[in-house]
Structures are given as structure tokens and as C-alpha cells.
Structure 1
Amino acid sequence: MREVLMFSPVPDDDPLNGLRPHVEGDLLGHEPTEGFADRCWVLHPIRVGGQKVRWNDFLRPYGKQLGDWMFTPSFRVFGRLPRPLTEGYEEPTIGEIDRDTLARLLTVTARHSAQGAETECFWVPASVHTPGYPVKADRGPLSSALAHFDGLRDSWRVFPAHWWPVESTWPVEGSWFVVTDEDLSATEVFGPRELIADLLADDELDAVRHPSIADVWHTGSPTWRDEQPVDILPLL
């Protein structure tokens, strides 16, 4: 097994810009609720016959669109569609960003970062992997992220759930924050309006505005707007 050395480990007592209690306290991933001007979701791609398909393009033949899904973007969106699903359907990745989406997201965030692709960042896994213990954070530049992703394919570890620029104070104007919740099939990006507008306009990303985790956490069961909620425990 190859050792992953693309990033440098961060000491367990490093406060991570004051965010350590938050990323350790939210088991599946920390979603900020303040400090950023805007936010959006970057959906992990669906594939049909090996080809990437945007979520709304896949949903359209079923008479659905993501805007009518009353919860966060996850595999559950497709679990409530009529069967059988389109032949050759491959569901989006759950709890980890895919390589193609990561590569493009790195490019766009670099354009909105002080040192471009060499901007030093924290890379922090969801605490569900080490419950009751300090999260094993790393630091390194955006330019090393893809190599780190590739190196992790030979290990049991998944790509870090959180990443954001290393700053002396947090958040600073123009900062951004990325989180991939362990239970979802999309990555949430927080930052300045210019960054979010850039993501939403990018032809290579399926970026959308959709309710946050905080918006829907206590609203019931995942379902479509035109359906009756099912009697199950609240889920994302």
C-alpha cells in the first residue's frame, strides 16, 4: 500500500482557525451558518452509459426537477423515482467528491484565492471517522489536492470532507469553505458572491442553488413537493 504524503499532518492541538470544535462536533460534516456572503451546491455527477448527465436532465423524463425535491441533494432523490431507472444509470458518489468535480472545483476556487493554486489550505475529514478523538487534519496547497486524491485510492481513507484556506483569522473577507457531508451526493461551497456566481455559471460543473442542511433538518421526511411525506425518521 502506498503511503499518502501529498499533504503535511497538522498537530492535534492546532485550532484550525477556531473551527476544530465545529468540525469535530458535527459527525458527518460541518456546515457553516454565518460568515459567508453566499453558498451553492456542486452536485456529484450521475452517469448513464458511462457519460456524465446533469441531475435535472436525468430527472426531466420522470416529470421531476431538483427544485421540487424538499430536502438536501443526496442519493435519496433517485431512490424515490419510479422503477426501473434509465438503463446504464450510475448513482452519484455519496460522502466523497468525485475526481472530475474536484479537479474543476479546484480550478475555480484557485481563481478566487490569494495565491491561486498555491494557496495553502486545511484539509479535514469528517469526524465520523474518528469519533471521540481529534480529527486528523492536514495542510497543503490546492495544487496538491488531485495527487492526494489519487494517492488515497490505495488506502481506506476518503478525500477530506472539509477544505478551506489557512488564514491567521477566520473568516476573512473573500474566504471560502468547502464541505462534502458524509450522507450526501453533493459538495457545498461557501464564499464571496463572485465565487458562487462563477461556480453557478461553470459549464463543467452541475452547480445549483438548493436548501442547506440547516434549512431542511427539522422539516420531516425526504420527499417530492407533490408527494405525501412517508412515515420514517427525518433524514437529509
Structure 2
Amino acid sequence: MSSHLRPVEHVDDWIAPRFGDVTGRVGSTVPHGFAAYARILHPLEDAEDEPATWSDVAAFTGSHEHALMQFGAISRSPEWPGTEPEEGNLSPDRLERLCDVLDRHTPAEAECFFALWEGYGWVHGSPGVVIMGSDEVVPPAFPPEVLNGPRLRHWGGRDYLVFRGGLRAASEMGWHRDEWFSPQSPNLFWPADRSWCVATEIDFDSTLVAGTAELVADVLAHQGLEAWSVGPEDSLTVDGDHLNR
């Protein structure tokens, strides 16, 4: 576990009451009650292994770009020859860029809270995870005081381990081994003053940012983040893309 991420002794239940009750909507993934919301599309690569965007995919297939577009709809599989965006994990470079924006809207030295889904196999170790080519018994990623600690309950029944630390500790979450590090962006994170909240749902290929109008405007304006303005009632399900059928 990163030395900059520390377990919490208590989890304030402020998020769950602010979730909507319709699966797949923005407001059932990140809390209601914020002034503005943005959807950051996860990156991918083209057939030459070069960085690509959803805009590139839409241009290639002749699909319609819009805030609620679904990758499966715009890629016209198998027409798009490149990769698919990763589900449930915002890439380290995009996470760093997002934290650059969040930093400008977060008090200096502010403590932040980071939630990690407890269902990742590597969290608990063997037999939930194996290392290819090895018969090693994989130990849990966290000590007992973390695994037995308080949980955050997300709408839909998922439970999350919660850690605290500075904003930049977001990039240190993941599976730490002596030989390597497999990053996992926080599934939820927010500052102590709850002025914003970021959510990366494990089944979504985009990350949601909720906060002030000024914060979201900065996210939307960042050239290194492919982001769109959304609202809490918008659907991010496959059926939510009404323009690409």
C-alpha cells in the first residue's frame, strides 16, 4: 500500500443519500446536488498503437459525436480497427491531468478521501487472483486493519475500502508489488469539504466529475481530457445513445 494513502477509522455516509435510484444514470454513479457535471471519455489506441480519441473513432465510422455516445455504438464493431477504452480505470496520464485541474479548485494541503471497490481480486490475494506463469500464493494487497475496516456502501450494493491522503495520492492507488505496480484509479474520490466528487464506475468506460460550474468548465476546456457536459439524469447505458443505433 502506498505510504501516502492511509486507512480511515470512520466513513461518513454523505454520498449514498445523494445517489439517484435508476441504474446507469450519471446521478446514480456520482452524487446529486452539484452545480455541474462532466463525463471524461477513457482513451484508446488506433490500429498503429497510437493514442486515439472517441472523436477519432466517430470520424472514422461516420458516427455522431455527443455527450452520451456509447463506444459500442460509435465503433460499429468490427469496423474500428483500434483498441477499446478501458472500463473501470482512468489511465494514469488522464488521472494526472484531471488532478491538475482539481488542484486549482481544492484548498492547499486539503485532505481527500479515496474509495476502492473491495471486489478486485488482487485486493484479497489468492485464490481471487493469480500471476501468470507462477504458482505463487498471492498475499492480500492490504493489511488486516484495512481489509477489516469500515466500508462505503455505493448505491447498487457495492462496498468500497476508503483511504485518505493528499490529492496527488490518487495516482498511487493500485496493486503494489516489489517488482511492479498496476495502477487503479479510485472508484470514487472527493476532498474533505465535499466541493467536488469524481467517480469511475467499474463497468463504465468513462469517468464522471461533479463540482462547481467553474471546476467543470475547466475540465471541459482541458485539451488533454476528452470531456463532455452531462446532467445527473442522463443515462450512460447502451440505450442512452439515441443518435447512434
Q: Percent identity?
A: 26
- Pick aligned residue for 1:122 from 100, 113, 136: 113
Instruction: Tell me, yes or no, if the aligned pair for 1:27 and 1:126 is still in contact at 8 Å.
Output: no
Other-structure match for 2:65: 66
Matched residue SS, 1:209: strand
Number of matched pairs = 205
Matched residue SS, 2:112: strand
- Pick aligned residue for 1:37 from 32, 35, 38: 35
Other-structure match for 2:234: 215
Normalized per residue, the structure richer in helix is: 1
* Alignment partner of 1:140 is 2:165: yes
What is the rounded CA distance, in whole Å, between the counterparts of 2:227 and 2:244 in structure 1?
A: 24
Matched residue SS, 1:40: strand
Matched residue SS, 1:208: strand
Instruction: Tell me, yes or no, if the aligned pair for 1:99 and 1:149 is still in contact at 8 Å.
Output: no
Instruction: Tell me, yes or no, if the aligned pair for 1:7 and 1:144 is still in contact at 8 Å.
Output: yes
Can you give the 5+ residue segments of structure 2 that lack an aligned partner in the other structure? 121-150
What is the rounded CA distance, in whole Å, between the counterparts of 1:27 and 1:78 in structure 2?
A: 22
* Alignment partner of 1:14 is 2:11: yes
AA matched with 1:137: V
Aligned-pair RMSD on alpha carbons? Answer: 3.5
* Alignment partner of 1:85 is 2:110: no
Other-structure match for 2:201: 181
Instruction: Tell me, yes or no, if the aligned pair for 2:175 and 2:182 is still in contact at 8 Å.
Output: no
- For 1:5-41, what per-residue CA distance to the aligned partner results, in whole angstroms no more than 9, with x for missing partners? 3300012x4215x236668x9999732122x111111
AA matched with 1:221: D
Instruction: Tell me, yes or no, if the aligned pair for 2:113 and 2:164 is still in contact at 8 Å.
Output: yes
User: How far did residue 181 of structure 1 move?
Assistant: 1.3
- Pick aligned residue for 2:226 from 203, 206, 210: 206
Structure 1 pair 76–220 and aligned structure 2 pair: CA distance change class (3 A): closer
What is the rounded CA distance, in whole Å, between the counterparts of 1:200 and 1:220 in structure 2?
A: 23
What is the rounded CA distance, in whole Å, between the counterparts of 2:158 and 2:221 in structure 1?
A: 40
User: How far did residue 207 of structure 1 move?
Assistant: 1.1
Structure 1 pair 7–27 and aligned structure 2 pair: CA distance change class (3 A): farther
Can you give the 5+ residue segments of structure 1 that lack an aligned partner in the other structure? 228-236
AA matched with 1:225: L
Relative to the length of structure 1, the TM-score reads: 0.71
Relative to the length of structure 2, the TM-score reads: 0.69
AA matched with 2:170: A
Other-structure match for 2:142: none
What is the rounded CA distance, in whole Å, between the counterparts of 2:45 and 2:31 in structure 1?
A: 30
Other-structure match for 1:76: 72
* Alignment partner of 1:164 is 2:190: yes
